[in-house]
């Protein structure tokens, strides 16, 4: 009796092993569908690991940037989880729930237990990657992603054939991390750090490597962002946080011009070596600095610790920069009118464009057809306009059209600054885009707008309104956003 039961169990195992082995020509259509599902899981998981590589040449060959890679990575990874869930349901329905906890060896691996462990670990990663959790608990999001390593190991133990699918993307991913290590050794000096109202910290950083990379990027690096880490705030080796570059410090443009004049004078004097060296150092300092505006994302977050650290006056001594990344897929040199729509701290990536538009040299290089710039900025309180008070003052002196919409605390609108067009209430993006299109077509509202581009960054509701307005009025809307 015992021998017959053992024989029956062995036959069932052989049948299961045969069904899971390589597909034979005589297998049924149902079995072929299961085999296709099994293969698609492997391809999807390999693409999930391939897309996050930040400096891989394959993305350059395909003509997609880091922002697009991250967006595709999120799509493919969620589809991978759907395929894995379908596979788990099919196997548990056919062989039973208890068999999912078995570590019995099969012709493809060491059993279903390792596949189940891989699925559970990836579910945890997916949970922390969901939009509300990822934005608010970015620290946990980055830490949870390290569970991918044991998840992939368990998946390979469950199916050894997976190794051939993951070899190439795994090689690129490891090589990408090793290549990024050199960025972590960059010299980055904190020139100044200032806490501002509304839980915002303004950092002025000097990093020649980042400045050189920004100059080489298309569109002058508009929409670029960097990853920041500081040992003064956390001890995590890989705890980097992304922030948009908000431009250059006020006064650097004048300092750069004065420094160049000093260099010319010093070079004419053969006995002024020390003065020559000092002037050159000032020129490098002026051209290598950039600013970051960082807003607190809530209590106990890394950004909240940064704002508190700066507000207490404690200096930041150890700051590491990785990047820059990001590049708009829009050719701004084609447009005569640019409408900038921003909400809250979303003004950050808009500021470098305004500086470019007000710089004669950069404007002739990157924006040769630009004739009109209109800025619409929505803030909760009028005092938040102080975040970018220097550039707003320059915009007024250059007669750029700037409107600040105050949605809360509308009583004291004078805090936004003198001679500034302050409007109380929510911004009507549809009407503003329609007016810009009408102006761009010089009154011909029946023609399609070919010289108007919209640069937008802000909360989800504002971005939805901007996209809708762009579709209605047939104008190019570029979102200066990056996916975390």
| Beta carbons of 137 and 299 less than 8 angstroms apart | no
Taking only the tens place, the pLDDT of each residue in 26-68 is 444 445 555 566 678 788 888 888 777 776 666 667 677 677 7
pLDDT at residue 20 in the model: 45
pLDDT at residue 140 in the model: 84
- For residue 447, give the DSSP letter: S
- For residues 139-149, give the mean pLDDT: 87
Phi-psi region of 354 (alpha: psi -120 to 50; beta: other; left: phi over 0): alpha
pLDDT at residue 94 in the model: 78
pLDDT at residue 449 in the model: 43
Q: State the DSSP H helix or E strand holding residue 275, giving kind and residue range, or none if neither.
A: helix 273-288
pLDDT at residue 72 in the model: 84
- For residues 441-463, give the mean pLDDT: 72
DSSP notation for 327-354: --SS-GGG-SEEEEEEEGGGGTTHHHHH
Say whether pLDDT at 196 is over 80.
yes
% of residues, the chain, pLDDT over 90: 19
pLDDT band at 93 (very low <50, low <70, confident <90, very high): confident
> Greater confidence, 409 or 361?
361
Say whether pLDDT at 123 is over 90.
yes
What contacts 241, CB < 8 A, 6 or more positions away?
A: 138, 227, 228, 229, 302, 303
Alpha-carbon distance of 95 to 104, in angstroms, equals: 13
pLDDT band at 126 (very low <50, low <70, confident <90, very high): very high
pLDDT at residue 284 in the model: 42
């Amino acid at each position: 009796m015992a021998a017959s039961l053992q024989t029956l169990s062995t036959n069932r195992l052989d049948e299961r092993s045969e069904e899971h082995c390589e597909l034979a020509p005589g297998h049924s259509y149902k079995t072929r569908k299961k085999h296709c599902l099994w293969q698609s899981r492997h391809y999807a998981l390999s693409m999930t690991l391939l897309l996050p590589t930040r400096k891989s040449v394959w993305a350059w060959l395909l003509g997609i940037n880091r922002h697009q890679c991250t967006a595709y990575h999120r799509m493919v990874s969620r589809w991978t989880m759907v395929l894995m869930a379908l596979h788990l349901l099919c196997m548990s329905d056919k062989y039973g729930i208890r068999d999912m906890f078995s570590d019995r060896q099969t012709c493809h691996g060491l059993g279903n237990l390792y596949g189940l462990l891989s699925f559970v670990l990836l579910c945890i990663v997916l949970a922390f990657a969901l939009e509300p959790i990822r934005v608010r608990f970015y620290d946990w999001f980055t830490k949870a992603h390290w569970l991918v390593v044991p998840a992939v190991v368990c998946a390979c133990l469950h199916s050894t054939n997976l190794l051939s699918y993951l070899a190439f993307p795994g090689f690129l991913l490891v090589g990408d991390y090793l290549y990024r290590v050199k960025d972590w050794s960059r010299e980055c000096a904190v020139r100044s750090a200032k806490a501002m109202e509304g839980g915002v910290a303004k950092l002025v950083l000097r990093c020649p490597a980042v400045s050189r990379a920004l100059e080489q990027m298309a569109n002058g690096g508009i929409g670029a962002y960097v990853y920041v880490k500081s040992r003064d705030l956390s001890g995590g080796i890989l705890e980097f946080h992304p922030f948009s570059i908000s431009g250059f410090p006020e006064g650097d443009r004048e300092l750069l011009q004065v420094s160049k004049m000093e260099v010319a004078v010093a070079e004419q004097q053969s006995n002024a070596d020390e003065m020559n060296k000092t002037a050159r150092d000032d020129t490098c300092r002026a051209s290598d600095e950039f600013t970051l505006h960082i807003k607190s994302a809530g209590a106990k977050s890394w950004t909240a610790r940064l704002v508190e650290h700066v507000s207490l006056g404690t200096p930041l001594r150890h700051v590491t920069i990785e990047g820059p990344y990001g590049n708009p897929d829009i050719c701004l040199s084609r447009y005569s009118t640019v409408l900038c729509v921003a909400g809250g701290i979303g003004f950050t990536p808009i500021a470098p464009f305004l500086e470019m538009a007000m710089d004669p040299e950069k404007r002739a290089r990157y924006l040769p057809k630009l004739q009109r710039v209109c800025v619409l900025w929505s803030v909760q309180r009028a005092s938040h306009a102080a975040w970018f008070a220097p550039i707003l003052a320059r915009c007024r002196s250059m007669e750029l059209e700037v409107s600040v919409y105050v949605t809360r605390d509308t009583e004291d609108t004078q805090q936004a600054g003198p001679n500034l067009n302050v409007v109380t209430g929510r911004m009507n993006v549809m009407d503003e885009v329609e007016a810009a299109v009408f102006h761009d077509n010089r009154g011909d509202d029946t023609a399609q707008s070919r010289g108007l581009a919209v640069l937008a960054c802000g909360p989800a509701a504002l971005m939805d309104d901007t996209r809708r307005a762009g579709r209605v009025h047939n104008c190019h809307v570029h979102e200066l956003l990056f996916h975390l």
